[in-house]
Amino acid sequence: MIPMTDDGTKGDDVAADGVWTFQYSKNLGKHDGLLVAGQQATFVFAFDASGNLEYKVSDEDGSFPPTTGVMAYLDYGNGFVDATIQNQPDGDRNTYVEPAPFTPPANHVAVNFCVDDTANQSYATKDGLAWSGSFSFDADTRVASYDDGWGGPFPMLYDDGPWDQGGHEPAGATAGDHIWCVTIWIDNTAEQAFDYGAIRGSVDGSNGGWIWNGDGNGSFTVTSGATEAIDAAGMSIPAWGDTDLRLTLDLSSDGANLYQDSEDPHVVDFTGVAWTNPEVKSSATAWELAPMYDDGTHGDAAADDGIYTWTLSKTQNPNDGKLSSGAKAEFIFVFERPNGDADEYKRNNVGYAEGVGAYLDDANGTFSEVTIMGAGAGNTYVEVP
């Protein structure tokens, strides 16, 4: 037997309101999993610790559990909805609920997408992996429609098994294998091309941090009358390595060491300004803005010298790891002018290296400076040998 709660925990909505709650996902053992379509979840309530006093009444065929005062709900991935409580016809005649299978909409084709995290196995549902792209997604119908502006909402990714067995993944998928997937449905009455990527930190389909590592955006096309499921090319999250990355930015002396136009010394791009609040964003951390430090912490060599520091291993996100051999880590700096305006450290789609230091460590943890190179979109990057 498992105790129910009326204290606002384990799924209980309101403490001490006399409504006692049991939520399956809050009581899973290590060998338990969530329900799949067609699986009956039987239950009966007991009012004493021995289990002898069950919530059952008698009729001409024996005893059965009533449903008066009982409420049951199922969560198919988008919040709890009312579930029908049924009685088993014979045996102990316990009550049960049964998840309904998802029915694909007519005149639509299934499109599958996956992100493989088997190398690191760091992502969980709370981390909000999602499939972003030129579509708007309805989580209730599982239908996506074209949206050139990438406005979302986007489909979340799941590791809960195939869509035709109560999950959200492609048919034949395995729940709990650290491959995060989703199957969506798109109208097949007309041809339409879609572009896409992958993000993390999404909440119910919102935008998030960009983790897509493909060569340009991914793409797929739904042709008119298509019926066979489309497998959109997915991605694998690279295995973490042993190499740490440290970046420094010299904002001392009002940017005297930053980029200045060499053709005309009177045309100053970044010098002569008291820059503040520097941050860095990098492909190594899903392009999420991270603070830099000049206080002698987080790898910073000296406090208050105007040289700000960011160290990859000091980030707080458990889904970010050190770099592996051959990895390219792109980055760009963002800082504020005294008036509060933000400015990226680049001009005309060119990221600058003046005043920037980039360092990789060795097996002994000793950092050595490495060459900074230019990447697309005006970012700079370093490459691990």
What is the DSSP annotation of 245-312?
EEEEEE-HHHHTTS---SS-TT--SSTT---EEEEEEEGGGTT--EE-B-SS-TT-SSTTSSEEEEEG
pLDDT in tens, 73-118: 988 766 788 888 887 766 666 787 877 778 899 999 999 999 999 9
- Which tens digit of pLDDT belongs to each residue from 174-189? 999 999 999 999 999 9
Is residue 45 scored above 60 in pLDDT? yes
Q: What does CATH list as the number for 108-236?
A: 2.60.40.10
Which amino acid does the sequence have at 337? R
pLDDT of residue 98: 73
- CB-CB contact of 212 with 197 (8 Å): yes
Percentage of the chain with pLDDT > 70?
Answer: 93
- Cite the DSSP H helix spans in 187-283: 252-255
In three-state secondary structure terms, 25 is: helix
Query: Given this model, what pLDDT does residue 164 score?
Result: 87
Q: How many CB atoms lie within 10 A of CB 198?
A: 28
Q: Which two tokens stand for residue 125?
A: 């549902």
Q: How many CB atoms lie within 10 A of CB 3?
A: 9
Q: What is the pTM (predicted TM-score) of this model?
A: 0.74
Residue corresponding to tokens 């989580």: 139
350, exposed or middle or buried, with CB in 10 Å at 0-12, 13-18, 19+?
Answer: exposed
Q: Where are the domains of the chain?
A: 108-236, 245-383
CA distance 333 to 350: 12
Q: How far is CA 86 from CA 44, 321, 338, in A?
A: 12, 49, 67
Confidence class of residue 47 from pLDDT cuts 50, 70 and 90? confident
Residues 242 and 212: their CA atoms lie apart, in Å, by: 22
pLDDT digits (tens, 9 = 90+) for 364-383: 889 999 999 987 778 899 99
CA 265 to CA 271: how far, in whole Å? 10
**Can you give the pLDDT at residue 38?**
67
Please, which pLDDT band fits residue 61 given cuts at 50, 70 and 90?
low
Distance CA 114, CA 118 (A): 12
